[in-house]
Amino acid sequence: MERISKSVDWIAKAFKDGGRNGWLAVMGLFSTWMVWIGLIKGLAVMLPTLQEQFNASTWLVGWMIAIIDASIECSGICASPLRNKFGLRAVVTVSGVLVGGSLIASSFASSLYQIAILLTLFAGPAIGVSSIVTREAISHQFSDSLTMALSLGGLGSSLAYVIIIPLTQFLIDVYGWRGTMLLTGGVYSHIAVCGALMKEPATTRSNDEYAAVAVVKETAEGESAASNSRCCSCQNSVSSFISKTLKKRILSSAPFWLIVFMMNIWMMIYQQHSLARNRTLIKLHILSR
């Protein structure tokens, strides 16, 4: 009984740590991970069907999936400017609409290139941006239970393997690839619901954010003074934008680059493992036919 009581107290403490808004952010990250893995692995399950439908080579469909995954990863750099400009709720909500809308539009595509363009330009960046901003929201809401919150959010990827991937194969067998994209687009649109429920976390102003001040130098000629004023104002605006967007203090931190290096190594290992697994699944699918 004592262990059960301690476990209940620990769960209650973790819930109070993040509060309602924190756990809504965890739900958003959970959904984002599920959509990310469900989209990429679902397309891998659809690979033989897309080959037959569009008479395409294996490498062409594989490159399409790889480019979509790359767009998810590379779009993270746009998360900070978008979040600062439009806010957490708007970014995640619009991302969910873009993911679902691009998949629904792909169900009406007449070529593989149309699918690649739609998912690369809309679904990929939307998933990448929502993944980053939901993690940021979690980091603002949790203090003692931050690691547990991020871990629970990451469980969405594991659940995608268990539920979304078999569901994708079932939908292909029943409704075909067009019906599968249409239905999964509706399911993946639930990211927008998570975004609509989120609220802005309480944040404090960082020391490296400052307001640009126009510097005007008095000169003998009025035109020269006006020109210098415009140049200084433009330089200050650019410097302020770079400071707010790229966070120069973080970029000069050695622990930050160490974490980036570790994440890159992990991603390389994960991608190699995922590639080998996808090849095995394709071979098994061919042999089963």
Of 39, 46, 45, 94, the closest CA to residue 68 belongs to 39
pTM: 0.75
pLDDT in tens, 33-47: 999 999 998 998 898
Average pLDDT of the residues in 12-18: 73
Tokens describing residue 125: 């960046």
Share of the chain above pLDDT 90, in %: 39
Q: What is the pLDDT of residue 123?
A: 94
Give the pLDDT of residue 219: 45
Alpha-helical regions (H) of 120-221: 124-141, 146-159, 165-188, 190-197
In this structure, the chain runs to a length of 289
If one counts every other C-beta atom within 10 angstroms of the C-beta of residue 160, the result is: 22
CB 30 within 8 A of CB 156: yes
Q: Read off the pLDDT band of 289 (50, 70, 90).
A: low
Identify the structural domains of the chain with CATH numbers, from first to last.
2-203 (1.20.1250.20)
User: Whole-angstrom Cα distance, residue 39 to residue 160?
Assistant: 9
Averaged pLDDT, 140-162: 88
pLDDT score for 19: 81
- Considering only 38-47, 68-77, 142-151, which range has the smallest mean pLDDT? 142-151
Q: What pLDDT score was predicted for residue 286?
A: 61
Which pLDDT score is estimated for 271? 65
pLDDT for the residue 180: 94
Contact 124, 68 (CB under 8 A): yes
Compute the Cα dihedral for 19, 24, 25, 30 and give only its sign.
positive
pLDDT band at 147 (very low <50, low <70, confident <90, very high): confident
Give the 3-state secondary structure of residue 41.
helix
Which one is predicted more confidently, 147 or 126? 126
Amino acid found at 61? V
Rounded (10°) angle between helices 2-45 and 47-54: 20
Please give the residue that has the higher pLDDT: either 152 or 246. Answer: 152
Residue 21: pLDDT over 80:
yes
Would you state the pLDDT for residue 280?
A: 67
In b/e form, how buried is each residue of 10-46, taking b as 16+ CB within 10 angstroms? eeeebeebbeebbbbbbbbbbbbbbbbbbbbbbbbbb
Per-residue model confidence (pLDDT) at position 245: 57
pLDDT in tens, 188-228: 999 999 999 998 876 544 444 444 444 444 444 555 555 55
CA distance 169 to 184: 11
What integer is the mean pLDDT of 231-251?
61
| Mean pLDDT, the chain, integer | 80
